[in-house]
Structure 1
């Protein structure tokens, strides 16, 4: 059975935790390890919204926890010093802390089910396992939830380009998620949609791959971070939204041909799409 690791943020004294939806979506068992001597406890999903990449968990058998303080992310400026905290690479034990600055604001990312806008960009080192963890200011207040990192290509690796969901987006979504609804306030129904397994952003001539999700359809087919997807079959994908729409229009299990620019190469890569549960 496959397993994975991520990070969460305590938001109530009785064990509510917010994290990324992609950390827990589809999980059959969730365990939460609390810092210090808090031990490991079973947890369950209270509310999830894959379109916002947010989920709220309830940790069993705990009390007296200290919730995080969320700052107003609209006051964040480029150049502000920040710290990224998380379970980097799933090492466990004490969280890993890295320092950086806010490099940009209002960034956008998409994948098969998400449309993340208004993101904060940081050069603080973010690694697999950091997803769902806090990006904090120098007062220790949460200004964002770490969600993705750009890795680039083997020949042109990206350095220190991470993204976080702003705290204002998170706090606006929490009441609905805590009530077992999606961030829009409706019950959290799910539907199965086709899944490529990449996070993309707009490029001048297509959808640039920021991150390839491990073991996903794209990774298995050889798609790499830094690739620019210009078409799905005969359908042009001039930007990230067009790629997202093209994939969601397909059925899971369909094999599609991706037209890709990789450096000076133009490639065609067949990919058999997977499936994912989408809540909205």
Structure 2
């Protein structure tokens, strides 16, 4: 890269930060954090730092405005603030960001706007301890949580959170964050989907077990009652081995080394030939699963064409789908079949 191109890149990034910074505010509701303006009088920030429902928002020009928490979503750790009199421009979701694109993490802690440079390392993870979060590739700094992850064009990629994974700066994807904000604005809560069944991983007979694969010790209850929730707003499952999901590393549930492509699913860890599924150990009476005919002893192989390898994946995939209908591909009595299940609401 020539010096001229480098200077142009530097100038463009600085311009992007300057443009975005007017949409980033300081939120005082505990220790100072950042907030992202997403609409007229509406600010998204992280929930875990807010210790009261009445907070103060400080705009880019130093104006202090009273704000009220309209709602919190434990699963995404987002809180929506309503700020009467706020005239800051709102950030809009950007276009699809490609892996390798430069990103900017922009926050406004107590003493003005700050930014760090990152890049799109990979798409939002569909499995593992960081399922559903966008890695920013940027270095976290104090007070960045609640700020905006933006592309070089100033489009919103996600809402930042430095408290999800130690040492990493992750973001709730913009489309999910804005959906949560809309629900919090209209109803004050985000309904959570449930099927009403409990499952545990099962290895199919006759297949070699992966090296060092841990043995699940008890069933994971899919039911969510709001108690004892973890940092992402979910009740920890007793068979996870780790707080945010199954054991990491080679040979753990969902780790590498599981074999070839699966039926209709994405990724290399398929179930064809019998590797791993979820056996149903309990079906709650009158639940959506019970009404759809799911039975104890069924083995869940896929949901809407995507393989399922751990109870946490099942939870993650139906959490935001209350009111929708999903298709479970199950093995029952040696035969495979599809079962359509309307996702309930809790």
- Structure 1 match to 2:33: 6
* CA positional deviation for 1:166: 0.7
* CA positional deviation for 1:194: 2.6
Change (3 A) 1:41 1:100: same
SS in 1 for 2:131: strand
- Structure 2 match to 1:145: 159
1:167 lines up with 2:174 in the alignment: yes
- Structure 2 match to 1:127: 141
* CA positional deviation for 1:106: 2.5
Q: Deviations over 1:31-89 (max 9, x none)?
A: 1111123x1222111122112222210123x14321112214xx2222110000113xx
Q: Of residues 69, 74, 82 in structure 2, which corresponds to 1:58?
A: 82
Distance 1:45 1:110 in 2: 31
- Structure 2 match to 1:79: 100
* CA positional deviation for 1:185: 8.5
Change (3 A) 1:201 1:240: farther
SS in 2 for 1:179: helix
Contact 1:105 1:118 in 2 (8 A): no
Q: Deviations over 1:121-172 (max 9, x none)?
A: 1221122311111000001111111123644xxxxxx5xx321111111122
Distance 1:86 1:109 in 2: 28
Distance 1:100 1:195 in 2: 31
Relative contact order, higher structure (CA 8 A, sep 6+): 1
Paired residues in the alignment total 190
Change (3 A) 1:192 1:120: closer
Contact 1:104 1:122 in 2 (8 A): no
Change (3 A) 1:108 1:44: farther
Residue segments in structure 2 that go unaligned for 5+ positions in a row: 1-28, 194-224, 233-242, 254-309, 316-345
- What does residue range 42-53 of structure 1 map to in structure 2 within 5 Å? 42-53=66-77
- What does residue range 189-268 of structure 1 map to in structure 2 within 5 Å? 193-194=227-228, 200=244, 202=246, 203-204=248-249, 241=312
1:96 lines up with 2:130 in the alignment: no
Contact 1:104 1:121 in 2 (8 A): yes
- Structure 1 match to 2:210: none
Distance 2:156 2:128 in 1: 23
Change (3 A) 1:200 1:109: farther
* CA positional deviation for 1:110: 9.5
Question: RMSD of the alignment, in Å?
Answer: 3.6
Contact 1:47 1:179 in 2 (8 A): no
Distance 2:311 2:48 in 1: 19
Contact 1:83 1:100 in 2 (8 A): yes
TM-score computed with the length of structure 1 as normaliser: 0.57
SS in 1 for 2:161: strand
More strand by share: 1
Change (3 A) 1:33 1:201: farther
